[in-house]
Amino acid sequence: MKIFKPLFFLFLLGTLQSLSYAQVNLDALVPLDEHVKIGRLENGLTYYIQHNPKPENKLELRLALKAGAMQEDERQLGLAHFVEHMAFNGSEHFEKNELISYLQSIGVAFGSDLNAYTSFDETVYMLPIPTDEQEKLTNGFQVMRDWAGGLLLNTEDIDAERGIVVEEWRTGQGVGQRLRDAYLPVLLHESRYAQRMPIGKMEIIRNAADALVRKFYKDWYRPELMAVVAVGDVPTEKVEGLIKEYFSDLENPENAPAREYYDVPGHKENFVKIITDEEAPGIQVQLYYKHKAKPSINYGDYKGRILRTMFGGMITQRLDEIRQQADAPFIFAGARYGNLVKPLDFFTISGVVGPGKLKEGLLSFITENQRVVDHGFTQSELDRVKRSLLNSAEKSFMEKDKVESRTLVGRYVSHFLNQSFADGPENRYRFYQEIIPEITLDDVNRLADELIRNDNIVLIVSAPEKDKESLPKKAELIEVLESAASIQTKPYKEELLRDELLLSKPKKGEVIDQAYNKEVNVTTVTLGNGMKVYFKPTDFKNNEIIFTASSKGGTSLYPLEDHYSANYSGTAINVMGIGDFSPSQLKKVLAGRNVQVTPNISTYSERITGATTPGDFEMTLQLIHLYFTSPRMDQSLWDVFIGNQKNQLESASVNPDFQFNKRVNEIISNGNPRGRGIYTAGQLDSISLNKSVQIYKERFANAADFNVLFTGNIDIEEMLPLVTQYLGSLPGDSSKRENFVDLGLTPPQDRKETIKVGMDEKSQVILYFSGETAYDLAKSQQLSYLGEILTIKLIETLREEIGGVYGVGARGSLSRIPEERFNFSISFPCGPEAVEKLTAAVWEQIRKIQEEGPDEADLAKVRETKRLDLEENLKRNGFWHGQLNAAINGGLPLDTVLGAEGRVLGVTALEVKQAANEYLQKPYLLQITKYPANFKE
């Protein structure tokens, strides 16, 4: 590391200097990333190829199609999405269910890896392929080729899939869907988009003739509308050869319908849509200024995108400051510029207001917009957002050779579908370095008259039905909208802030012991205050350090009467700030810095977690020091927070998801009040701010209690003196180390609970097994296998055979805190009428594994998926950090992680069978079933 790092940064410095000399013509086209090869076959199919070695032996494949719901005729509403489903149900080279089974056998998991989506204007298929064997690679291209032109679309398969799509639709039903269905026709006024929700109409899904499904596929799945995107650890020439081999014979159909692009008409009149619903969670306000979609072609367009990003960010900062004021007109709000559908961009301010404050909240949004129109932004606001954008570009540039393929592949899909920018990090950094320093206040302020317009405005208000009579009328809100120009505003005034977090450095501590574990390359340092600091250097990222400082105890050490005060002690400090800085001020000071530090106090521990870079390591340590020593008391900020929390709790109380989660929490806590969250305003009133702050100080008073782990691009010789300065100076007493107290928070067993909430015809089934068991790393892995194998079988039966669910999952694990236990859960949504049938089917699959053991083929699928995941994870900071942190705080050897491969690959069918018999027994079961409120059993 000592040799590599200086050479790398000398190279980086020279590269940055060379980039800074180039000048950009704003009329010049923005190039694609120089590392990607783009081409087109004679049949019109476009392809993008980039060789990227991270992760090794993997290729990310995408098939992108410029066709979606907008291409459906009136008889086909929902069939674009239906065809996407059918891509997994039989093709020329893969029979029904064979495709998913084969891909699982080579380590590609259905849902998390293998997936697809359909939108208004596009359909995209996602397929990551292992490339360690040629056969896997060629079969991956065969799968893509079959999707593009080889689907069978057999009648029996179409009929079997109808129920699954209906269940997907059912899963999406609820207040969010009802509100969306009410406001989208207004937002997408008089456009084809308003009538083309991708999920479609269920009467068509249930009854459409097979010929209509096949017609959509024939008409629109044609090479001139397709792109194959391939990014990964395969030579470009080889990938290009495979694309030509597998896709050149695709033909465009004769007399195919033209691919039309539809507009969203503008309107001089401004629209207000007020929607009330019994289950709406609070009063939400969305103010849209609609615009024609901006092009993404040349550097002038690129500069425009930067300016719009700056504009939205600076208004959001102002709104955030208002939010924290006493009696603020809204609970929270934010501004941004974005794209709604292909032809329509928008500038929006959206937020949540309290009861009786809709008109006041809207007026505050309009006023802040008008303040910018009248007076513009300040130089300090612009400087901060410049620093943030330059930092983002620099961070991407410094990680350019460590980016994973799954991150890169999306930019080329978007380039093909939406003509968005897909330049590389080198070009982005060079352009940002040149253009951002030259951006002036006038450049940004001129956007105000463009983005904040007087026409083509849509205001959407959604609120609970109970608030309907107290809401302003539509005419009143239109009057507020149209009064903008007459509002008298004063310039925004900003307080001056110092750049330093600490006015003076603390007295340096000392190192009293240092040890090195060669097997895992971890250095352990014991500081004079008793704190232990662990360093795990890696070269997985060039500019990333993640950290965790943790200690045992948490809220478990406090009596019942202090339960809620203890629960909110970490929240209180996040709300009020640290040292001399409120949260809003701290955000300004840290603008353009890679400093993320968050304290948290949970039931059995307290932690400070975050991420940084080598360049910002010292400032991060300063912030950690402040979170240990200088929590800030600010009664006004706390009062605003509590008031907003009460409003949100009251608003959420009518929402069925909130009601369901509240009841589940009560059931799983088994009547123990120490396991319950806050669901009522009265519980909030029981919090004592003074007590919360006292508890926070107590939990972070003794540095000797804490283990701190740093993982990433670490130079120990450079960083240890800083750690000794800022962490070694913290007060600590090794004789007063604490442990947690077991609160007895154990879920009930051998119990069934029914929860009736909501008006939608949908249910949820949760089978939750739990109990005491000896903790064992090997058994934990066996339980994990059981969950993944059972998931495979339940997808095959509940989804593919019965057609009763869209998704289903099973998972299990062992835990050691506060006691050694196991838990295993199975969960699925379904129709209320299918609960008993599907639950019986789940038990049948459990019984088969208990009696016969898992299929060897399923065991092999899970083993291969886990093997590939482990190979990739072993080259990620997050994995090493999580494993080492678990070992450090669980009292396990640091080299425990080195046995992961043996534990993962060594699981046998007999062990999975034994796990099923040991853990999946009805005496351990808590079954919770949700039904609609009006359901009659």
3-state SS string for 846-910? HHHHHHHCCCHHHHHHHHHHHHHHHHHHCCCHHHHHHHHHHHHHHCCCHHHHHHHHHHHHCCCHH
Q: Would you say 167 and 202 are in contact if contact means Cβ atoms under 8 Å apart?
A: no
Per DSSP, the residues of 552-564 read E-GGGGS-GGGHH
* Run of H or E including 516: strand 511-517
Is 21's pLDDT higher than 60? no
**Per-residue pLDDT tens over the stretch 642-686:** 999 999 999 889 999 999 999 999 999 998 999 888 888 889 999
Contacts of 382 (CB under 8 A, 6+ apart): 310, 314, 439, 441, 444
Could you give the CA distance from residue 534 to residue 630 in angstroms, rounded to a whole number? 24
Q: What is the pLDDT of residue 621?
A: 98
Mean pLDDT across the stretch 691-708?
98
The alpha helices in 376-423, defined as continuous H runs, are: 379-398, 405-418
Three-class DSSP category at 413: helix
The 10 Å Cβ neighbour count of residue 829 is 20
Q: What is the DSSP string of 698-724?
A: HHTS-GGG-EEEEEES--HHHHHHHHH
pLDDT in tens, 137-149: 999 999 999 999 9
pLDDT tier at 847, thresholds 50, 70, 90: very high
Q: Going by DSSP bridges, is the β-strand pair 344-353/36-40 parallel, antiparallel, or unpaired?
A: unpaired
Alpha carbons 138 and 246: distance in angstroms, whole number: 9
Structure tokens that stand for 33 in this block: 């990333």
In the chain, the amino acid numbered 673 is P
Q: What are phi and psi of 62, to 5 degrees?
A: -135, 140
Section 101-111 average pLDDT: 93
Please state the rounded mean pLDDT for residues 497-502.
Answer: 92
Partnered with residue 273 across adjacent β-strands are 460
11 band by pLDDT with thresholds 50, 70 and 90: very low
Tell me the one-letter amino acid at 849: I
**Residue where the block lists tokens 């495709």:** 99
Which tens digits make up the pLDDT trace of 881-899? Answer: 999 999 999 999 999 999 9
The whole-number pLDDT of residue 739 equals: 96
Instruction: Tell me the residue type at 64.
Output: A
Structure confidence at residue 820 (pLDDT): 96
**pLDDT reading at 260 higher than 50:** yes
CA distance 772 to 788: 22
Q: What residue ranges in 747-793 does DSSP mark as E strands?
A: 751-756, 763-772
Backbone phi, psi, residue 725, to 5°: -70, -50
Among 298-307, 381-390, 489-498, name the one with the lowest average pLDDT: 489-498
Q: Are 727 and 531 in contact (CB under 8 A)?
A: yes
| Average pLDDT score over residue span 22-46 | 93
Report how far residue 260's alpha carbon sits from residue 35's, in angstroms, rounded to the nearest whole number. 32
Contact 301, 29 (CB under 8 A): no
Q: Confidence class of residue 18 from pLDDT cuts 50, 70 and 90?
A: very low
Q: What is the distance between the alpha carbons of residues 63 and 48, in angstroms, rounded to a whole number? A: 11
What is the chain's alpha carbon radius of gyration, rounded to the nearest angstrom? 29
The rounded percent of the chain whose pLDDT value lies above 90 is 94
| CA-based max dimension of the chain | 84
Are the CB atoms for 794 and 828 separated by under 8 Å?
Answer: yes
Query: What does the pLDDT look like over 721-756, one tens digit per residue?
Result: 999 999 999 999 999 999 999 999 999 999 999 999
What mean pLDDT comes out for the span 304-328?
96
Residue 630 confidence class, pLDDT cut points 50, 70, 90: very high
| Distance of alpha carbon 399 from alpha carbon 404, whole angstroms | 10
Given this model, what pLDDT does residue 190 score? 94
Binning pLDDT at 50, 70 and 90, where does residue 937 land? confident
Among residues 1, 113, 130, 108, which one has the least CA distance to residue 56? 130
- With a cut of 80, say whether residue 501 has pLDDT above it: yes
User: What distances in angstroms separate CA 626 from CA 529, 720, 730, 835, one per listed residue?
Assistant: 17, 18, 10, 53
Query: What whole-number distance in Å separates Cα of residue 365 and Cα of residue 341?
Result: 24
Asked if omega into 55 is within 30° of 0 (cis), the reply is: yes
Indicate the pairing of strand 457-464 with strand 271-277: parallel
- Taking the CA atoms of residue 443, residue 448, residue 453 and residue 458 in that order, the dihedral angle to the nearest 10 degrees is 120
8: confidence class by pLDDT, cuts 50, 70, 90: very low
User: Which residues on neighbouring strands pair with residue 928, listed in sequence order?
Assistant: 753, 766
Interacting residues of 60 by C-beta distance below 8 A, sequence separation 6+ = 126, 127, 128, 129, 229, 230, 231, 232, 405, 406, 408, 409
Q: What is the pLDDT of residue 14?
A: 40
Q: How confident is the model at residue 6 (pLDDT cuts 50, 70, 90)?
A: very low
- Single pTM value for the model: 0.94
pLDDT tens figures, 325-354: 999 999 999 999 999 999 999 999 999 999
Averaged pLDDT score across all residues of the chain: 95
Structure tokens at 635: 């009664």
Decide: 764 and 929 in contact? Cβ < 8 Å: yes
